[in-house]
């Protein structure tokens, strides 16, 4: 109970930060809420603890009388600022002219979290320092100092990205609760220095999907089940689930996620936001709970390409604690300079790997995506069909995303999973060795913890353990069996997966001696981003449509070669501009519909619309 009002554990975490600042009376510099009008109107201030607690708890628990979209309607921020779908540029303009402050943006996004999180569960932990950080940045602005486009902008990070503050870094597992990281992850440090306000930690699939091979996407023991605001009953995409969901639901401006194989692109595509996965080595992994050094990367989520790129510009760079970054090829002046509009499509040429990926898409997705391709051609671009990945018959699974496809066809020395299993054993042990205040020092310790806490952590397969971890911890056990030994099979698998996929993409990008501006692919067909992941190459996905059967979004993605982020930004922003400025075009980002908002199934239905 809190001032006589029951509150969920998640609500207590959120409210504590406000209560600790307000102490029963208003603190002028931070401005806590007096009442929260969830159906619209402006945000006001509160003078008692009961004001926020009652408003937030009542709103989260009440049964909607009208349509779901009306129930989740977003109020104005301050007296007049429309925060819903606001871009970073919109927020900067509003802060620049005094319409809102960074403190108010934090308050308004906190209000949105209170309104939605009992439903979608996008935020695992609220940063109790967020208002202090925002207030300091407001003081800087008043003194004439603006650090850049991220100044005062609230962001979240996936909960496997380390922060040296009052928050936890556990990868969603109870096993690491209370452990302390030695420092902020490099990308967090950079984003703080750029003026971003860390709002909190986003929910995720536990251990970034490494622990289990049959599981409920978006679930972790510590964070619970994240749900897409487009449909609460089906796979929301992962493992950076909460990062994508929070941005999609307008519960935060932008977010950071991590990807080994699809964990940025998949949830972005399934929640109608932009997802940008850079070349391995462009963004440091230091301070991030690892999976495999050969494929892990930190990516960005935004409601627009520009917002995702502003965030990327803030986090990329060389880091002595991640030697992969020392070889990066990045432009002087950052990546924002490559943002364009639809005019850039005139004379552009794109490849379409039909046999590799497009033929696996279902008819409804093909109909909508080909209509978008027609728009791109009408804007002056050439799209060349049949630009296939070399040896796709061997390296691309004919069924679906399958990171053990090599083993399944009889060649573990050609399998991505062979590499990941060995790398995880070694990489996680190195990560754990730097933590303080924990007895968890090895993968063996994690596995034993899951057995000892079977009901929550699902050490055993269902019907023992936890239904969200249907196959138990088979991913961990597969890694444990390797003991991290880099034997001949391992080295052959690493050589095969990297060399074949890199050559395959590079060959497809060079059509009859002409270098193409990208390969257009349907990311709902998971093999598309899987080939990019194995290569360590960059990819961007744009919102492109909605599947009628489930209401779940899908996207259009662009593949490129190593360090070609500038090309992805140039043509991603051009296509997005075309989507937004073409009268009557429906193939673009759409607002959540909150389908099934009263339903709470676990596990979620593992439906992948748009793939055969």
552 and 524 Cβ atoms separated by less than 8 Å:
no
Clarify whether 588 is annotated catalytic: no
Out of 122, 173, 179, 239, pick the active-site residue.
239
245 and 267 Cβ atoms separated by less than 8 Å:
yes
Which positions ≥6 away from 263 have C-beta within 8 Å? 205, 208, 209, 238, 239, 240, 257
C-alpha torsion angle, residues 538, 385, 587, 270 (rounded to 10): -40
Question: Which region holds residue 41: left if phi is over 0, alpha if psi is between -120 and 50, else beta?
Answer: left
Task: Kindly state the DSSP code that residue 260 receives in the 8-state scheme.
Answer: S
606 and 217 Cβ atoms separated by less than 8 Å:
yes
- Long-range pairs for 401-409 at CB < 8 Å and ≥24 separation? 401/261, 401/262, 401/526, 401/527, 401/530, 402/530, 403/261, 403/530, 406/493, 406/496, 406/497
Clarify whether 304 is annotated catalytic: no
560 and 516 Cβ atoms separated by less than 8 Å:
no
Radius of gyration (C-alpha) of the chain in whole angstroms:
23
Task: Kindly state the DSSP code that residue 291 receives in the 8-state scheme.
Answer: S
Dig out the tokens for 305 from the structure.
Answer: 């390409």
Which positions ≥6 away from 149 have C-beta within 8 Å? 88, 89, 92, 310, 313, 336
Task: Kindly state the DSSP code that residue 63 receives in the 8-state scheme.
Answer: P
Phi, then psi, of 288 in degrees rounded to 5: -105, 135
Out of 158, 190, 277, 588, pick the active-site residue.
158
CB crowding 104-116: b at 16 or more within 10 Å, else e: bbbbbbbbbbbbb
Out of 173, 263, 397, 573, pick the active-site residue.
263
Clarify whether 158 is annotated catalytic: yes
- What is the C-alpha to C-alpha distance for residues 441 and 451, in angstroms, rounded to an integer? 16
262 and 526 Cβ atoms separated by less than 8 Å:
yes
> Active-site residues: which are they?
158, 239, 263
């Amino acid at each position: 109970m809190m001032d006589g009002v029951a509150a969920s554990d998640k609500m207590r975490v959120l409210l504590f930060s406000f209560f600790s600042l307000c102490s029963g009376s208003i603190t002028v510099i931070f401005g806590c809420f007096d009442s929260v009008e969830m159906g619209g109107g402006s945000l006001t201030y509160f003078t008692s603890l009961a004001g926020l607690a009652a408003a937030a708890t009542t709103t989260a628990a009440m049964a909607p009388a009208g349509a779901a979209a009306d129930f989740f309607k977003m109020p104005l921020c301050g007296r007049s600022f429309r925060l819903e779908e606001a871009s970073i540029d919109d927020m900067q303009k509003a802060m620049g002219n005094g319409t809102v402050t960074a403190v108010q943006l934090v308050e308004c996004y906190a209000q949105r979290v209170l309104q939605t999180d009992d439903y979608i569960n996008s935020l695992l932990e609220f940063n109790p320092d967020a208002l202090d950080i925002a207030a300091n940045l407001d003081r800087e602005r008043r003194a004439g100092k603006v650090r850049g486009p991220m100044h005062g902008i609230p962001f979240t990070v996936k909960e496997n990205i380390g922060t040296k503050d009052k928050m936890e870094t556990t990868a969603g597992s109870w096993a690491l609760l209370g452990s302390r990281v030695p420092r902020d992850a490099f990308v967090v440090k950079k984003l703080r220095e750029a003026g971003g306000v860390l709002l909190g930690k986003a929910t995720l699939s536990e251990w970034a999907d490494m622990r289990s091979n049959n599981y409920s996407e978006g679930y972790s023991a510590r964070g619970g089940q994240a749900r897409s605001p487009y449909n609460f009953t089906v796979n929301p995409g992962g493992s950076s689930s909460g990062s994508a969901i929070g941005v999609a639901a307008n519960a935060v401006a932008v977010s950071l996620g991590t990807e080994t194989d699809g964990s940025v692109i998949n949830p972005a595509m399934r929640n109608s936001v932009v997802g940008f996965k850079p070349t391995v080595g462009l963004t440091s992994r230091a301070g991030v709970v690892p999976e495999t050094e050969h494929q892990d990367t930190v990516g960005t989520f935004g409601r627009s390409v520009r917002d995702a790129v502003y965030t990327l510009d803030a986090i990329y760079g060389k880091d002595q604690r991640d030697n992969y970054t020392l070889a990066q090829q990045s432009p002087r002046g950052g990546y924002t300079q490559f943002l364009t509009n639809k005019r850039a499509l005139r004379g552009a040429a794109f490849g379409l790997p039909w046999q590799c990926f497009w033929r696996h898409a279902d008819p409804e997705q093909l109909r909508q995506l080909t209509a978008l391709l027609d728009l791109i051609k009408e804007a002056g671009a050439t799209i060349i069909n049949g630009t296939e990945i070399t040896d796709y018959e061997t390296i691309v699974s004919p069924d679906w995303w399958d990171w053990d496809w090599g083993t399944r066809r009889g060649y573990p020395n050609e399998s991505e999973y062979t590499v990941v299993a060995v790398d995880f054993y070694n990489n996680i042990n190195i990560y754990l060795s730097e933590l303080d205040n924990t007895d968890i020092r090895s993968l063996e310790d994690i596995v034993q913890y899951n057995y000892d806490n079977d009901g929550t952590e699902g050490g055993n397969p269902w019907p023992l353990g936890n239904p969200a971890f249907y196959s138990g911890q088979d991913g961990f056990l597969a890694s444990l069996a390797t003991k991290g030994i880099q034997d001949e099979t391992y080295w052959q698998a690493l050589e095969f997966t990297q060399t074949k996929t890199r050559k395959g993409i590079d060959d497809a990008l060079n059509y009859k001696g002409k270098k193409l501006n990208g390969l257009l692919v349907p990311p709902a067909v998971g093999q598309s981003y899987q080939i990019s992941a194995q290569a360590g190459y960059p990819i961007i996905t744009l919102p492109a449509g909605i599947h009628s059967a489930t209401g779940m979004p899908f996207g259009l993605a662009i593949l490129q070669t190593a360090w070609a982020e500038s090309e992805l930004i140039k043509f991603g922003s051009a296509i997005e501009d075309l989507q937004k400025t073409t009268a009557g075009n429906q193939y673009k980002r759409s607002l959540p519909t909150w389908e099934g908002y009263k339903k709470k199934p676990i596990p979620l239905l593992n439906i992948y619309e748009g793939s055969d």
